[in-house]
Amino acid sequence: MRPFVYEQPADISAAVAIASRFTTNDDQPTRANAQFIAGGTNLADYMKLGVAEPNRLLDLNRLKESGLRQIRVTDDGIRFGALVRMGEAADHREVKRRYPVIADSLRLAASGQIRNMASLAGNILQRTRCEYFRETSWQCNKR
Q: Say yes or no to pLDDT of 31 above 70.
A: no
The pLDDT, as a whole number, for residue 70 is: 95
Between the CA of residue 87 and those of 71, 102, 115, 122, what are the distances in Å?
Answer: 12, 11, 5, 13
pLDDT > 70 fraction of the chain, expressed in percent and rounded: 81
CATH number attached to the domain at 71-122: 3.30.465.10
- The residue extents of the domains of the chain are 5-64, 71-122
Q: Which among 5, 12, 102 has a CA at the least distance from the CA of 63?
A: 12
CATH (residue range 5-64):
3.30.43.10
Are the C-beta atoms of 30 and 46 separated by less than 8 Å? yes
Q: What is the pLDDT of residues 76-135, one digit of tens each?
A: 999 999 999 999 999 999 999 999 999 999 999 889 999 999 999 988 887 766 665 556
Q: What are phi and psi of 6, to 5 degrees?
A: -110, 125
In contact, 23 and 32? CB cutoff 8 Å: yes
Q: What is the mean pLDDT of the chain?
A: 85
Q: How confident is the model at residue 30 (pLDDT cuts 50, 70, 90)?
A: very low
SS3 141: coil
List, in sequence order, every residue forming a beta bridge with 58; answer none if it has no partner. Answer: 7, 36
Q: Are 59 and 119 in contact (CB under 8 A)?
A: no
